[in-house]
Amino acid sequence: SQQGEEDPQALSIQEGENATMNCSYKTSINNLQWYRQNSGRGLVHLILIRSNEREKHSGRLRVTLDTSKKSSSLLITASRAADTASYFCATGYISGGYQKVTFGTGTKLQVIP
C-alpha cells in the first residue's frame, strides 16, 4: 500500500486565506518532500525536509515534520488563485533493500479568487 496518505482529499479556500495539508506515513523515513501538480502536467518539487529536521520554510511555504507521529504538514500562506493544484507528499526510505520514494494520495486545492 502507499506510504503516504494525505488529508484532506480536497480543500477549497478563498484567495488570501491559508491552506494546510497533512500527510501521514507508515514506516521510518529518511526524508519527505512536497510536490505540486497542475492539472494535466507533471509533478514539480516544492520543498524537502529531512528526518532530523522539524520545520522548513520557503517563501509562502512552511513544512513541519513530526517523526514520532509519522506525519507532516504543508502550510501555504496568503494563498493565490495560481496555487490551485494538487499537492503530494513523497517519502524517501529503504524497503526490502531498495531505496524508495513513494507518493501520497494527494490533496486537491482550489483557491477561489
Partner 1 sequence: DAGVIQSPRHEVTEMGQEVTLRCKPISGHDYLFWYRQTMMRGLELLIYFNNNVPIDDSGMPEDRFSAKMPNASFSTLKIQPSEPRDSAVYFCASSLQGALSGNTIYFGEGSWLTVV
**Contact footprint for partner 1 (CB under 8 A):** 2, 30-31, 33, 35, 41-45, 48, 50, 88, 90, 92-94, 96, 98-106
State which residue, 15 or 67, has the beta carbon closest to partner 1: 67
State which residue, 25 or 93, has the beta carbon closest to partner 1: 93
State which residue, 42 or 113, has the beta carbon closest to partner 1: 42
Taking the C-alpha atoms of residue 79 and residue 67, their distance in angstroms, rounded to an integer, is 27
* In the complex, minimum distance from the CB of residue 86 to partner 1, in angstroms, rounded to a whole number: 10
